[in-house]
């Protein structure tokens, strides 16, 4: 039998209370009019669902389709907006008001009788493993958490979805929002006054959600958990799968796919007071909820800042994530009116970056005036603090004036005579990355070894061209240039620096600017201050091939580590594949 909403609400109340309830108590608990409660109680009693003030076996059977089967807690994300704390520890494992956020949620679910709980993990997944033994929960790993959003996580969890709670791991519920029986699919929501960049919900004359869009003002927004009933899950899972099979949807959150299919997905809004569901989008918001949090939270990053800048934690404000690079995590902050950037080493970077060499390179670049932003780097742990350049812009690779400056600048530090105790050879480093890659298993990529053999021949030819190693950046791409409001130019991020072939910086610049042959030749003429000779062109184009191969293998290894670089993998590869035969011909047959 299908229960009406009113019958369900009244019957559910009787499962939650041991003492016999009377109509006024039920009306108070359900917010239903007393006369409606009286009428519903008569119906439920007449139909045999309630007897002597208690739920009968028949009543329990009627409630069974509404019983919550399971819960999936989403704990895959890095939460970059919560820098710097989330760089050190998953946000869901923070202790807030004396309780670990995800543990509090698990205990609230279990208190509601929901014991089939799965934790979906990704970022720093090993930090969550203890929960399996402590609470007898299951773990589901999303190995692609860095490239794909929670839509993919739900797809991995699709067989777990029925009557299921879906919960962010990092929310703090002041009161337990979970129930053993739920009538219909819903999304929790709180009202936000003013502008917001959250998902804003609109409803029909009842509570069904009929619109969902990011951003708005004076709106009910998604916050906290969602509940999928079985009908919703059965309808949503195929739609989710169809969407994720399209490349443009691979990184979409589940909410976007839901919003695109509102007409065929029946979900209600469930409104909560803002003092029940607490969502912390920044360290400042959590500090407001728990004054003193920043002062007592365990954070080596905050300790590093206080030591380098001779300040107190209370002096540090304005944490903002910086657009993430391919290897590291960075955030911006201010101390006593001055702005800085903290660079946190990314996952697996210790395997292929010599932080001692990077520290030497940063020091040299600062001394040469090439990087005026550098302040301090820890050569053992790899973290770094620099000055933040307000209103800086990156180099525009399509602006000939800027490209000319960049080529002249790299030639100047190539010829500076500066030295550091590190080398960087495209082919040699590529072979090192290859060894790391093979640690994950055999390289079964069509054409890989044929390309490698040709690249090895080019490396041997180029080594005989007689170019002495010089101080080089080796990651000389437009995003690593900062141009300030006075048009001053700084080159940052020297983690791949070493004594290298002078063609390395030109090659990386060409590849990462995605230049065609004409643009590359123009940049080469800027480097040489005129038209290069055939031998110069041959050598520097050899470096383009070697650089493309080196960064391609590096990208493959990053992907194997679970921190892939997306489309850049194919871009790097293309510069090796597209030019390898021509350069070999130049060396082996002549111009």
Instruction: Say if residue 506 is in the same domain as residue 518.
Output: yes
pLDDT at residue number 466 = 93
Write the CATH number for 273.
3.90.550.10
CA 395 – CA 402 distance, rounded (Å): 7
Q: Distances in Å between the alpha carbon of 163 and those of 138, 139, 210, 371?
A: 17, 19, 21, 56
Contact 374, 340 (CB under 8 A): no
The DSSP code sequence of 506-548 is: HHHHHHHTT--HHHHHHHHHHHHTSPPPHHHHHHHHHHHHHHH
For residue 340, tell me if it sits in a domain: no
Q: Kindly report the average pLDDT of the chain as a whole number.
A: 93
Instruction: Say if residue 189 is in the same domain as residue 154.
Output: yes
* Digit-coded pLDDT (tens) for 39-66: 998 899 999 999 888 899 999 999 999 9
Instruction: Say if residue 205 is in the same domain as residue 233.
Output: yes
**DSSP annotation of 18:** S
For residue 319, tell me if it sits in a domain: no
Q: Distances in Å between the alpha carbon of 235 and those of 161, 225, 230, 248?
A: 11, 19, 9, 22
Please tell me which residue, 549 or 147, carries the higher pLDDT value. 549
Averaged pLDDT, 17-35: 78
Q: Distances in Å between the alpha carbon of 248 and those of 1, 86, 252, 280?
A: 43, 28, 8, 29
Number of domains in the chain: 3
CA 176 – CA 168 distance, rounded (Å): 14
Averaged pLDDT, 529-536: 97
Q: Distances in Å between the alpha carbon of 263 and those of 235, 236, 238, 454, 542?
A: 12, 12, 15, 56, 57
Please tell me which residue, 384 or 352, carries the higher pLDDT value. 384
Final residue belonging to a domain, choices 66, 83, 106:
66
Instruction: Say if residue 78 is in the same domain as residue 216.
Output: yes
For residue 90, tell me if it sits in a domain: yes
pLDDT at residue number 386 = 97
Reduce the DSSP state of residue 108 to 3 states and report it.
helix
Please tell me which residue, 586 or 21, carries the higher pLDDT value. 586
pLDDT at residue number 546 = 98
Query: Residue 193 region, left (φ>0) first, then alpha (ψ -120 to 50), else beta?
Result: beta
Averaged pLDDT, 336-351: 84
Instruction: Say if residue 44 is in the same domain as residue 75.
Output: no
Please tell me which residue, 490 or 146, carries the higher pLDDT value. 490
Instruction: Name 24's Cβ contacts closer than 8 Å, sequence gap at least 6.
Output: 34
Query: Across-strand partners of 122?
Result: 124
Instruction: Say if residue 535 is in the same domain as residue 446.
Output: yes
For residue 425, tell me if it sits in a domain: yes
* Digit-coded pLDDT (tens) for 277-315: 999 988 889 999 999 999 999 999 999 999 999 999 999
Is residue 106 over pLDDT 90?
yes
For residue 117, tell me if it sits in a domain: yes
Instruction: Say if residue 457 is in the same domain as residue 553.
Output: yes
Averaged pLDDT, 563-584: 93
Final residue belonging to a domain, choices 262, 283, 304:
283
Domain that holds residue 566: 392-589
CA 498 – CA 428 distance, rounded (Å): 13
For residue 18, tell me if it sits in a domain: yes
Q: Distances in Å between the alpha carbon of 444 and those of 49, 74, 558, 566?
A: 63, 33, 16, 19
For residue 335, tell me if it sits in a domain: no
Instruction: Say if residue 140 is in the same domain as residue 47.
Output: no
Instruction: Say if residue 38 is in the same domain as residue 134.
Output: no
Contact 305, 336 (CB under 8 A): no
pLDDT at residue number 327 = 62
pLDDT at residue number 479 = 93
Reduce the DSSP state of residue 58 to 3 states and report it.
helix
Contact 207, 229 (CB under 8 A): no
pLDDT at residue number 273 = 95
For residue 359, tell me if it sits in a domain: no
Reduce the DSSP state of residue 185 to 3 states and report it.
coil
* Digit-coded pLDDT (tens) for 559-569: 888 777 889 99
Instruction: Name 517's Cβ contacts closer than 8 Å, sequence gap at least 6.
Output: none
Instruction: Say if residue 95 is in the same domain as residue 31.
Output: no
* Residue 311 phi, psi (nearest 5): -135, 180
Q: Which two tokens stand for residue 165?
A: 């709670």
Write the CATH number for 19.
1.10.10.10
Write the CATH number for 448.
3.90.1200.10
Final residue belonging to a domain, choices 219, 254, 283:
283
Instruction: Say if residue 134 is in the same domain as residue 235.
Output: yes
What is the sign of the dihedral through the CA atoms of 157, 160, 164 and 165? Answer: negative
Instruction: Say if residue 49 is in the same domain as residue 83.
Output: no
Reduce the DSSP state of residue 358 to 3 states and report it.
helix
Contact 231, 278 (CB under 8 A): no
From the list 468, 529, 475, 533, the residue with the least C-alpha distance to 505 is: 475
CA 470 – CA 32 distance, rounded (Å): 80
From the list 539, 535, 554, the residue with the least C-alpha distance to 501 is: 539
């Amino acid at each position: 039998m299908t229960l009406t909403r009113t019958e369900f609400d009244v019957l559910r109340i009787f499962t939650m209370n041991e003492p016999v309830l009377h109509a006024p108590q039920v009306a108070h608990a359900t917010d239903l009019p007393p006369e409606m409660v009286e009428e519903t109680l008569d119906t439920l009693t007449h139909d045999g669902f309630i007897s002597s003030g208690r739920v009968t076996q028949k009543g329990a059977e009627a409630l069974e389709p509404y019983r919550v089967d399971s819960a999936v807690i989403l704990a895959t994300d890095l939460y970059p907006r919560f820098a710097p704390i989330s760089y050190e520890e998953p946000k869901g494992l923070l202790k807030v008001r004396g309780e670990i956020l995800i543990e509090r949620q698990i205990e609230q679910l279990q208190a509601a009788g929901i014991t089939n709980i799965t934790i979906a993990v990704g970022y720093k997944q090993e930090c969550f493993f203890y929960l399996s033994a402590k609470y007898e929960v299951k773990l589901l790993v999303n190995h692609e958490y860095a490239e794909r959003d929670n839509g993919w996580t739900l797809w991995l969890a699709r067989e777990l979805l029925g009557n299921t709670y879906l919960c962010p791991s990092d929310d703090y519920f002041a009161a337990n929002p979970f129930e053993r029986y739920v009538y219909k699919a819903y999304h929790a929501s709180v009202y936000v006054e003013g502008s917001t960049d959250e998902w804003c919900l609109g409803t029909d004359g009842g509570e069904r959600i009929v619109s969902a869009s990011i951003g708005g003002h004076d709106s009910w927004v998604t916050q906290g958990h969602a509940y999928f009933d079985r009908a919703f899950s059965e309808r949503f899972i195929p739609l989710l799968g169809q969407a994720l099979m399209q490349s443009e949807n691979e990184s979409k959150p589940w909410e976007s796919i839901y919003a695109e299919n509102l007409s065929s997905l029946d979900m209600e809004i469930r409104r909560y007071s803002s003092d029940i569901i607490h969502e912390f989008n920044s360290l400042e918001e959590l500090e407001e909820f728990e004054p003193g949090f920043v002062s007592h939270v365990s954070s080596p990053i905050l300790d590093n800042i206080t030591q380098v800048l001779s300040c107190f934690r209370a002096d540090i404000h304005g944490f903002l994530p910086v657009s993430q690079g391919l290897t590291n995590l960075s955030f911006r902050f201010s101390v006593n009116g001055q702005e800085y950037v903290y660079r946190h080493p990314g996952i697996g970077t210790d395997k292929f970056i010599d932080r001692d060499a990077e520290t030497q390179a940063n020091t040299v670049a600062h001394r040469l005036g090439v990087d005026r932003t550098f302040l301090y780097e820890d050569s053992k742990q790899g973290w770094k603090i620099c000055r933040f350049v307000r209103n800086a812009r990156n180099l525009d690779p399509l602006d000939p004036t800027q490209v000319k400056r960049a080529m002249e600048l790299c030639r100047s530090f190539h010829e500076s005579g500066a030295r550091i105790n590190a080398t960087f050879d495209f082919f040699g480093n590529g072979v090192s990355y290859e060894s790391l890659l093979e640690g994950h298993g055999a390289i079964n990529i069509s054409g890989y070894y044929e390309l490698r053999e040709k690249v090895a021949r080019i490396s041997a030819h180029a080594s005989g061209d007689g170019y002495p190693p010089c101080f080089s950046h080796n990651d000389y791409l437009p995003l690593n240039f900062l141009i300030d409001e006075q048009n001053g130019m700084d080159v940052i991020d020297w983690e791949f620096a070493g004594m290298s072939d002078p063609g390395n910086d030109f090659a990386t610049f060409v590849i990462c600017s995605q230049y065609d042959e004409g643009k590359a030749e123009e940049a080469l003429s800027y480097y040489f201050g005129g038209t290069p000779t055939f031998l110069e062109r041959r050598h520097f184009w050899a470096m383009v091939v070697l650089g493309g191969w080196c960064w391609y293998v590096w990208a493959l290894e990053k992907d194997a580590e679970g921190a892939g670089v997306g489309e850049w993998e194919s871009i790097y590869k293309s510069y090796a594949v597209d030019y390898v035969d021509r350069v070999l011909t130049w060396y082996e047959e002549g111009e």
